[in-house]
Amino acid sequence: MTATFEPTLVSCPACQGPSLYAPDNRFRPFCSERCKQMDLGAWASESFRVPTSPPLDPAGPEDLLKH
């Protein structure tokens, strides 16, 4: 059983530019660290979030995303 990750070129959610969605790109799906930070800032200030994670749950799955 082979699990090969095929890199895909996606649109950066922040700048809409080309972004490589691959293990090499640790900012994926963003194209750069700057775009990632920019988007996180937007989330914090405008509650621009995906509806899958409750924002008021301190023990939510988001904890898994933190370093």
Chain residues in the site for Zn ion (CB under 5 A): 12, 14-15, 17, 31, 35
CB of 25 to Zn ion, least distance (A): 11
The structure tokens listed for 24 are: 């090499």
Cβ proximity to Zn ion, 17 vs 58, nearer residue: 17
Least separation in angstroms between residue 9's CB and Zn ion is 12
Distance, CA of 27 to CA of 57 (rounded, Å): 25
Pick 18 or 61: Cβ nearer Zn ion = 18
Torsion of CA 45, 30, 27, 41, to 10 degrees: -10
